[in-house]
Amino acid sequence: MNKSVLAVDIGASSGRLMLGSLKQGRLFLEEVHRFSNSIVKKGQYYCWDLEQLFVEIKQGIKKCSDLNVKPESIGIDTWAVDFVLLDDNGELLTEAVSYRDDRTDGMMEEVFEHIIKERIYLETGIQFQKFNTMYQLRALQKTDQESLDKASTFLMIPDYFHYLLTGKAVNEYTNATSTQLVNAFTKKWDKQLLEAISIKPEIFQEIKTPGTVLGEIKEELAEEFGFSLKVVLPATHDTASAVIAVPEHEETIYISSGTWSLIGVENRFPICVTKALDYNFTNEGGIDYRFRFLKNIMGLWMIQEVRRNYDNQYSFAEFVELAKAASHFTSIVNVNDDRFLNPENMIEEIQKYCAETNQAIPSTPGEIAKCVYDSLVECYVAAIGEIEEIFEKKFTKINIIGGGCQNELLNQLIADATKKQVFAGPVEATAIGNIVSQLIALGEIKDIHEARKLIKHSFDVKGYEAAQTI
C-alpha cells in the first residue's frame, strides 16, 4: 500500500491541505480542504487568527476519513518571521501580530543603535526588512516587556501548530533563519546577537531540520480524528518548501511567485559579502543546509489588493486580459516601496505614486493591472542583474514556481525583458516541497536529487522564450 502524507500549506490569503502519494513512479496530489486567511484587527494590531486556522487544519484532517484515507504523516508550512510567545504552562502570552502591522516602523534603526548593521549581516546573512522577527521583538520590548519577561517559549507560526498537534516545542531551521537571529555558519541561535538586543536566549528552542519526525499527534486528537498520524517537519518556511520543488535544471534562477515574489538561486554556502548586503540579498536556510540566496520582492499581493478594492468583481484571469488590452500603458511604480505593504487602498496608492513621479495615472482596471505587472517585471530584471553581478556569471534559465506561474502574460513579459528561457511550474510547488520532505523522512524517496527528478517527471512545466512561446 502506498503511503499518503498530508501537507498543510497556509499563505497570507488562503490555506489548504493536500494529500500526496507515490503511484507507479509519479507523485500525485489531491486537495482535501481549502480555506481563506487574512489579518484581522485585534486591539491596535493586525493579527493572524491562529485559533480559526487550527480549526481549519483539524477540519481538513477529518476530511481524510471521508475519503477513506489515513495519512501516515502531516507537516505544516506557512509564511515566515511572525511568532508567538508561550508562558511556563504552554499558554499564549501574545497574539500572532502580522508582519504587515506598522508596529515595526523605526525599530530597525533602533536595533542598529545597539549593534551595527554590517555585523548583523555578516553573522546571519539575512536581508534587512523592517518586519523581520528581530525588529518585531524590539517593538514588543517597547509595548509589552512584561510578556517577554514571562515568556518561556518562542515559536514561529508553523512551530506553534506543530506544538498544538504534538505538545512538543521546537524551532524548525528554514523558518528560524528568517528571524535574522540564527548564525548562518553555526546554524544555531546567535546568542551574542540576542544579548546585544536584550532578548533572553533561553526562550528559543532547539533548531530541528526538515525531515525531523516529531512523533505521533496527541491522544485526544487521534480520538477526535479517528486515527493517529506522525508529525514530520517539512521546510516550514513556505518558500523553502517551494524551492525544494524546483525541477532539475542546471544553473537556474528561480522565482517563487505568490503573495510575495522570491527571486534567487540555491547555494551550498552563505554569501555574506558587502555587495550582497548593499543589494539586500538574503541567505535563508533550505533543505539539507542549502541556502536560498534570494531577494524578497513585493509580489502578487498588489494585484490581490487591487482585486479586493474592486470588490472582487474581476478574476485574476480577467485582470490578465484587461492588462493585455491596456498594452499602451507604460507607467511603473517601485513595488518594494513600503507604501504598498498594507495601504488603505492599493489602487489609490498606485495612482498617487504615479502622480508624484509625473507619470500617466492609471484609471481603468486594465491600466492598473498592466502597471502592476510591468513594475514587477522591472524589479525582477534588476534583481537578476544583481545576482549575475554577485556570481560573476550569466544564467540562461528562469524557473517560476507557485500560483503566480499560471499568469501567462507575466511569464511572457519576464521572458521578453530578460531574454532568457522561462519555465513555469509546478503550480503547487509549496505543497509538493512539503510532501517530498515528509516522504524522504519516511524512506519513500531517497533524497532531494531523487525528489526533483520525480517532480520533473510528475508535473507539467511550460516553457517561454522572448517574443514567442515554445
Known active-site residue 149? no
Using CA atoms, how far apart are residues 378 and 396, in angstroms rounded to an integer?
Answer: 18
The DSSP H or E segment spanning 160 is helix 157-166
The CA-based diameter of the chain, rounded to the nearest angstrom, is 64
Between the CA of residue 213 and those of 9, 254, 427, 440, 457, what are the distances in Å?
A: 18, 29, 27, 11, 27
The active-site residue, picked from 9, 238, 288, 447, is: 238
CB 434 within 8 A of CB 9: yes
What's the rounded Cα separation, in Å, for the pair 304 and 326? 19
- Beta bridge partners, 76, equal 8
State how beta strands 171-172 and 213-216 pair. unpaired
Grid coordinates given for 241: 518548501
Sign of torsion over alpha carbons 213, 214, 215, 220:
negative
d(CA 60, CA 55): 9
CB 314 within 8 Å of CB 323: no
Helices (H), 189-338: 191-196, 219-225, 238-244, 274-278, 301-309, 316-325
Which uninterrupted H or E stretch holds 15? strand 14-23
Amino acid at 116: I
Residue 231's alpha-carbon distances to 46, 60, 150, 163, 460, in angstroms, are: 29, 15, 28, 10, 29
Establish how many alpha carbons lie within 13 A of residue 458's alpha carbon, considering only the half-sphere containing its beta carbon: 25
Element (H, E) at 111: helix 107-112
* CA-CA-CA-CA torsion sign (285, 291, 296, 300): negative
CA distance 281 to 127: 5
By annotation, the residues acting in catalysis are 238
